[in-house]
Structure 1
C-alpha cells in the first residue's frame, strides 16, 4: 500500500491513485480464506484503480493469518492482515477495526490525527468492498459492482447476486484417498441431504432476488457476503449516528441495520444485475435453523424495536412477508385440524376446486427451480411434485413460530453464538426427537379415533361439530383464495426475462 504519487505543478498537489479496499472479517477461516482471495485475484479492475485487501483475523486460534498472507503472495494481491484479540463484537468489531485503521478511531483518548500519508490514502479510497471469508466473487463481479456504484452519486451500496455453492458428490470421493477425511471436513463434498438443503437455499435466494429485481432492484439488506459501498455513505452513517464505525452490534442482522440507516439518510441500496458471488450454504437442518433463527429474529427486532430509530421504504414489504408466512402457517394448521375432525366424524367431502391452489403452487415452484442458477433435473421434478417446497416451508414455519414466540416472551438469545456453535458441532439438532414425538402423538390420536369411532360418527356428535367444520372450511377457503391470487401474481412476474 505504498502507491503514493506526487505531482509537481503550480499547486504542488500530492495524490494517490484511486483504489478499492476490501474488508474481509475472518474468524478461524484457514480452510476458506485462500479461495476467497483467489476470487479477488481473478478480478478485472477498473482503469487506473488499485485494490487493497484487509483481512481481519478476528480472535483466531488457527492459521488464518498465515494462510491469508501466503494467498496474497500467491495471487499477487496487496494484502494486509489485521489481528484482533479480545474482540467481543464478532463480525461487527472486526469490520470496524479495519474502518478505524483507515479513517481513525473517534474514541482515541489522545485524539491522534492522521498523518499526511494516511490522509492521502483515505482520500484515494473510492469504494469499500465488504466480504465474508467463505465467499468467492465470480470473474468480473468487482468491475460490475464498481460500474453500478458509479452510475449515480446517491448510490450508497451495491450488492452482488448470491448463489450457494453446491457440494460435490460425496460418493465421488475414493475412500482410499489419503485425504478423504480432510476433504470431507472442508465442506467441499456432501451427501444427498446436504446437496438437497443447498438447492433449497439456492432456490429461496433466487426467489428473493427475482422479486427485488422485478421491483426495481432496490434491496432492504446489503448482504455482508459481497457488497460494494461508497465511503462517503458509510462516513455519513458514522457522523449522523455518532458511531465509532459504520457497523453496529445492536442487531443480529448488522448488514440489514446498516442498509436501513443508509436508506434513512437517502442513499440508494441496490442489487447488481451482473455481479455474482458464490457463498457457502448451511448443509444440515440444525445449522440452517440456527442461521435462519438469527436472520429472522434480527429482522423482527428491527421491525418492532422503536429504540433503534431506523426505517426503510421496504418496511411494508417486510410486514407483508410476515403476514404471508403467518397465513401459510394458519392454512396448514387449519387444514390439518379440519381434515382430522372431518375424517374422525365421517363428514369429509372432496372438492375438485382444491386442485387449483395445488396446481398454481406446482407451476410456481417449477418456474422458480428453472430460474435458479445451476439447477438439476431432480430439483425441478421435486419442485413440481411440491415435495421439496413443502418440507422447506415447514422448516421455515417452525422458525417463524419460534422467533415470534421468543419476541412476544421478550426472550432474547445470542443468534451469532447459536449459529457458530451449530456450525462447529457444539450443539445438536432435536429434529429426530421432534419427528418421533409427532409420530407418537399422531398414532395416539388415530388409535383413539378408531376406538371411539361409533361415538364420533353418531348423529348427535356430527350435528354438534358440523357448524364449526363449515365455518372453518369457509375461513380456509378465503385464506386459500388469497394465497392463490398471490401465487398467480408471482407466476405473472416470473414470466419476465430476469435472472436470479
Structure 2
C-alpha cells in the first residue's frame, strides 16, 4: 500500500486538568513526581474487524493525543466492510504539535485477510511489528480515548519497572445512542463498567483484566510471558477472553497489572439484547474456563490466582442475586396463595440500600448524565438490567456445564449483525419452570405449603441480611476521589 502524503495536524487544545493528584492515594502522586523525562517508544496495534463506522474516530483520537504513539498499525482481519478503505485515509507519516512539543508518527494499514485466530491472530501479527518497542499500546477498533490517555499510561508504566500492563478506565459514550431499548442497555453497561472500574481502583488499583480496548503493555513482560509459558506469541486461543488470560499470565510472571486513575477511554457498547447477550456470555464463559482446570489447550485453571478471586466473587454475587430474587418471588406468591403473607417494612431496606449504592456509582462517573442518575435513582431500570445480566450468567454456565463446544466469537459476530435467538432461551426456560413449580405447588397440601414457607422465609431473610450488609459496606466505603 502506498503511503499517503505527509500530514500536519494542527495543535490540539489541552483538556481540562484532571482531578488533583492529592485526591488520590499517595502512590500515584509519587508516580507523577518520579516520572522520567526520557522518551520511551510506543507501538500501537489496532485489531480491526468490520470497523468501517468507527475506525476513523479511533485513529483521529490517537492522533489527538498529547503523547502520540511512535507508530500505529491497523491490522484488519476477516473483514467484509470498508474498514481498509476508511483506515487508509490516515495511512502515512504525521507531524503533530502538542503541548509536549513536536511529535512524529506513522500509520500503517495491514489487511491480513481471513485469519482463523481472528482477534488473537491480529494482535499477534501486530506484536511482531512492534516487539522491538518498549511498550505495546493495544486499542480496539471502536475505542476512543481522552487526549491525555497515552501520556498518563506511559508516565505510570515508565515510573515502575514492576508494572507489566496498565488499563485505562472504560466507559461508553451515550451521546449518539438513539432508541429507548438501546439507551436502556447502554445506561446499564455504563453502570456495569463504572462499578467494575471502581472495584479495581479500590483494590490498590490492581486490575484483574487488562482489557484490550485501551491498555499499554511492557514488551519485556510479554516476552517473559512467552518464555515462561512456552508460547510463540503473547496471545493464545486457550481462552474465549484472551485479555483475561494474558493478564493472568503477566501477573504469574511476577509483574503488576494496574488500572490508571486518570486515563479514560470510551468503548463500543452493545445496543441490542442479542448483541449484549452474546458479548456477556462470551466474557462469562471465558472467565469460567480460566477458573476451571483443563478446559482447552494449556489452561491450567487457577481458582485462587489473584486475578481470578474477583471473578469468583462476581460469580458468587450473581448467584446470590438469583437466589434472593427467585426465592422472594416464589415465597411471596406462595404466601399470597394461602393468605399467609404479612407485610414488613424491613423488606424495603435492601432495595433502598441497592438504589443508594447505584446512585453513588453513578455519581462517580466522570461524564455522568441525567440518564445515568435516573437509571440508578428510580430503581426499576437497574433491576430490569440485573435480570438481563442474570440471563447472561445462566446461559454461560449452562453452556459450560453442558460441555457443548461453541464458538462464542462467531456467535457474537452473528448477534451483532442481527442474527440468532439464543438470548430468548432463559425467558422461555424461566416460563416453563414457573409453570412447573406452580403445578407442583397446587398439588401440595396446605400443611406442606405452610412448612415450606416457614422454612423458606427465615432462610431468605438471613441471606438477604448478609447481602444487604455487603451492599452497605460498599456504600460507605471511602473512594479517594476516584472518577470512573
Quick one: distance in 2 between partners of 1:200 and 1:146?
A: 31
Q: Which has the larger radius of gyration?
A: 1
2:152 paired residue number: 144
Q: Which moved more, 1:313-322 or 1:232-241?
A: 313-322
Aligned partners of 1:436 and 1:157: how far apart in 2?
Answer: 43
Q: Provide the rounded CA distance (Å) in 1 between the counterparts of 2:219 and 2:183.
A: 38
1:408 aligns with 2:396: no
Aligned to 1:257: 245
Give the RMSD, CA atoms, in angstroms.
2.7
1:40 corresponds in structure 2 to: 62
Equivalent residue of 2:460, what SS?
Answer: helix
Whether the 8 Å contact between 2:292 and 2:300 is mirrored in structure 1 is no
Tell me, yes or no, if the aligned pair for 2:274 and 2:415 is still in contact at 8 Å.
Answer: yes
2:420 aligned residue: 427
Contact persistence 1:167–1:195 (CA under 8 A): no
Q: Is 1:390 aligned to 2:418, yes or no?
A: no
Q: Distance in 1 between matches of 2:242 and 2:166?
A: 16
Shift of 1:316: 2.6
- Indicate the residue corresponding to 1:233 in structure 2: 221
Q: Distance in 2 between matches of 1:447 and 1:319?
A: 35
Flag the 1:61–1:257 CA change in 2: closer, same or farther, 3 A: same
Q: Deviations over 1:60-90 (max 9, x none)?
A: 3333223222123596540112221331000
CA distance in 1, matches of 2:189, 2:202: 20
Go from structure 1 to structure 2 and tell me whether the alpha carbon gap of 1:309 and 1:437 turns closer, same or farther (over 3 Å shift).
closer
Q: CA deviation at 1:239?
A: 1.6
Once the two structures are superposed, residues 158-179 of structure 1 have per-residue CA deviations (whole angstroms, 9 ceiling, x without a partner) of: 11111111142xxxxxxxxxxx
Equivalent position SS for 1:237: helix
In the alignment, does 2:44 pair up with 1:56? no
Unpaired stretches in structure 2, ≥5 consecutive residues: 4-38, 96-104
- Per-residue deviation, residues 183-212 of structure 1 (Å, max 9, x unmatched): xxxxxx421221221111011100111111
| Residue of structure 2 in register with 1:480 after alignment | 464
| Aligned-pair CA distance for 1:426 | 2.8
Structure 2 residue aligned with 1:11: none
Q: Tell whether the 8 Å contact from 1:163 to 1:373 is kept in structure 2 after alignment.
A: no
| Greater displacement, 268-277 / 408-417 | 408-417
Query: Of 41, 61, 67, which residue of structure 2 is paired with 1:19?
Result: 41
> 1:327 aligned to 296, 308, 320, which one?
320
Q: Could you tell me which residue of structure 2 aligns to residue 176 of structure 1? A: none
Query: CA offsets, 1:371-423, max 9 Å, x none?
Result: 23333324323422311111111111111112122222212211110101011
Q: Tell me how far apart the structure 1 counterparts of residues 276 and 222 of structure 2 sit (CA, whole Å).
A: 31
Answer yes or no: is 1:499 the counterpart of 2:475.
Answer: no
Q: What are the equivalent positions in structure 2 for 1:153-232 lying under 5 Å apart? A: 153-168=161-176, 189-232=177-220
Secondary structure of the residue aligned to 1:275 is: strand
- CA distance in 2: counterparts of 1:406 and 1:428, whole angstroms: 15
What residue number does 1:87 align with? 115
Change in 2 beyond 3 A, CA 1:325/1:23: same
1:69 to 84, 88, 105: 88
Q: CA deviation at 1:26?
A: 0.9
Match of 2:299 among 308, 314, 318: 308
1:350 alignment counterpart: 343
Q: Counterparts of 1:323 and 1:448 in 2: how far apart (Å)?
A: 29
CA distance in 2, matches of 1:159, 1:211: 14
In structure 2, C-alpha distance between the alignment counterparts of 1:250 and 1:407, rounded to whole Å? 15
Q: In the TM superposition, what is the alpha-carbon distance from 1:435 to its structure 2 partner?
A: 6.0
The number of equivalent residue pairs is: 434
Q: Offset of 1:462 from its aligned partner?
A: 3.2
**Which residue number corresponds to residue 128 of structure 1?**
136
Alpha-carbon displacement from aligned partner over 1:251-284 (angstroms, at most 9, x marks no partner): 1100000000000011100001111111110001
1:338-364 Cα shifts (integer Å, max 9, x gaps): 111111111111112112112211211
Question: Are residues 323 and 442 of structure 1, via their aligned partners in 2, closer, same or farther at CA, if it must alter by over 3 Å?
Answer: closer
Note closer, same or farther for the CA distance 1:310–1:408 as it changes in structure 2 (3 Å cut): closer
Among 438, 442, 448, which residue is 1:464 paired with? 448
Give the match for residue 106 of structure 2. 78
Aligned to 2:17: none
CA contact (8 A) 1:38 1:75 kept: no
- 2:306 partner SS: coil
Point out where structure 1 has 5 or more consecutive residues left out of the alignment: 2-16, 104-121, 169-188
Could you say if the C-alpha distance between residues 33 and 430 of structure 1 is closer, same or farther in structure 2, counting changes exceeding 3 Å?
Answer: closer
- Range moving further from structure 2, 155-164 or 359-368: 359-368
TM-score (norm 1): 0.81
